[in-house]
A and B are shown apart, each in its own frame.
Chain A
Amino acid sequence: MGDGPDSGDEDDPDAETDGGVRAYTVRLELVDEPGELLRALAPIAESGGNLLSIHHERGNITPRGHIPVEVDLECPPDRFDDIVQALRDAGVNVIQAGEEHYGEEVNVVLVGRLVETDLSNTLSRIEDEADAVVLDLSLAAPDGTEGIASARARLAIDSGRTEDALAAIRSIGTDKELTIVEPLLGGEA
């Protein structure tokens, strides 16, 4: 599995040419229910990934009561994004993917008529246009759903892509007349 001819490495200077596969780590967050682990691993195998090891941290519960699982796998570099996508399509929460993937977590605070302007649409636009994963969300609407509300979103973003992601979120904010309070990057803030 995964050792077939590989032709997808011409764009990726880091791609291994020896055998055409590389090792990756994905960090998942699973609901504590029977069968969840198997359900999470199936998309990896089905998309051409080769499982190397599974570290199931049963004693270590995430703040939302979920169980973190670390999976080492190998696959051709051009298949890796498909594997991550297949996991997401199967409803598995991928909190970190690959050595370089989703290396940064940032918070943004959104302010405005969040409910009237369709918060779930705002969040899916952030995921699509900013290429970020919404890990966590808190909403405060002290004046009711009609009034000005605030939301804090914790986002996972590819390493080195935070500036681009924030620029995309700024432009979504402009579209929807939301104030975006961004984190201060750089220096020792």
Chain B
Amino acid sequence: MRLAILGAGDVGQSVADLAGEYGHEVVALADSTSATVDSDGIAVRDVLERKVGDDALGSDDPEDVFGIEYDVLVEATPTTLGDAEPGFTHVQRALEADRNVVLANKGPVAERYAELRALEAESAGSIRFEATVGGAIPVLSTIEDCTPQAVTAVRGVLNGTANFILTRMAAEGLDYEHVLAEAQDLGVAEADPTFDVDGTDAALKFVILANVLADGGFALDDATVEGIQNIPGSALDLAAEDGRTIRLIGEATRDGVRVGPRLVPENGALAVTGTRNIVQIETRNAGSLHSSGRGAGGPETATAVLSDVGRLPPL
């Protein structure tokens, strides 16, 4: 398939880099200021080298992406809240042109799910968004395989930064501020880690899951969200006295979304360590299913995008 990739961060670059391995061709790669567009396929390696060197991706305008022939628009621009722009408009333009869309951008799916589905219904194209929840872990496709109606709840750890901080605090008996600084030095936490530690990032993913379970109806404002900033090392010590630990756990059901620090058994499935993610999919007829793996990272998330491309129905 011919891929047009919007967004040239870690995920967009990795999709471009790995597309050939999955048998696809990249016909456009754009960031917010520049683009390289060629309906015969772009020279991915050269373009990525320019990006690494901080040069413009190419001499084309990002707007030119919508002027060429492509099969799938890969929306990998940064997640924005509220109106989820410009991601939402990108998806809209592709669907209105009867193209397929694969999103790595959480914004539109979390904040404007019903609108996306309405646009999709009018289009010959389809949308998929596995990469928005748990990176490389097949969460949405597992729910799809079980059928969303048979899934009663999804719970788990879907933010590696918060999980890394809690794990280190518990293991080393250190306080939040100390471990956060360490995580920033290691590159695990961003310079501004607010969205990770206040629960917003995890909440967006569980809002997406609730939307899939209930076929829409949720946005970030509907979620009850608490972060880990107020958890001192002593709380983890007390939890350990009783064989428990504290994790930032999200829960999505058809009734709502909740994210917050919770007590879980220290040796239980949900007590993953480091930046690892895990989801527990509770089904009506098959008990609980667990999937664990890397929930973030360029190549990891790109594999989810490319798996989605492979699952698209033919146009």
Contact = CB atoms under 8 A, between A and B. Distances in A.
Contacts of A112: 230
Given A181-B262, A182-B262, A111 B232 contact: yes
17 contacts: A107-B239, A107-B242, A138-B238, A140-B235, A141-B234, A150-B235, A150-B237, A181-B231, A182-B262, A183-B263, A184-B249, A184-B264, A184-B270, A186-B251, A187-B153, A187-B155, A188-B269
Given A140-B237, A151-B238, A179-B226, A186 B153 contact: yes
B270 A181 contact: no
A187 B263 contact: no
A189 interface: yes
Contacts of B260: 181-182
Q: Which 5 A/B pairs are nearest by Cβ-Cβ distance?
A: A140-B234, A152-B238, A150-B235, A150-B234, A184-B262
A188 B155 CA distance: 10
Contacts of B263: 107-109, 181-184
Contacts of A179: 226, 230-231, 261
Contacts of B147: none
Interface string A72-113: 000000000000000000000000000000000001110110
Q: Chain A, interface size: which category? A: 20 to 34
Contacts of B235: 109, 111, 140, 150, 181
Given A107-B263, A111-B231, A152-B238, A187 B288 contact: yes
A179 to B, nearest CB: 5
B246 interface: yes
A154 interface: yes
B155 A189 contact: yes
A115 interface: no
Given A111-B231, A181-B231, A189 B282 contact: no
Interface secondary structure of A, over-half rule: strand
B153 A181 contact: no
Contacts of A187: 153, 155, 280, 282, 288
Interface in B213-244: 226, 230-235, 237-239, 241-242, 244
A109 B270 contact: no
- Which of B230, B234, B239, B264 has the largest number of chain A CB atoms within 10 A? B234
Contacts of B232: 111, 142, 148, 150
Nearest to A188: B288
Given A109-B235, A109-B263, A179-B231, A184 B155 contact: yes
B265 interface: yes
Nearest to A147: B232
Contacts of B241: 138, 152
A26 interface: no
Given A138-B238, A152-B242, A186-B155, A111 B230 contact: yes
B268 interface: yes
A28 interface: no
B23 to A, nearest CB: 38
Nearest to B239: A109
Given A109-B235, A152-B241, A189-B268, A183 B280 contact: no
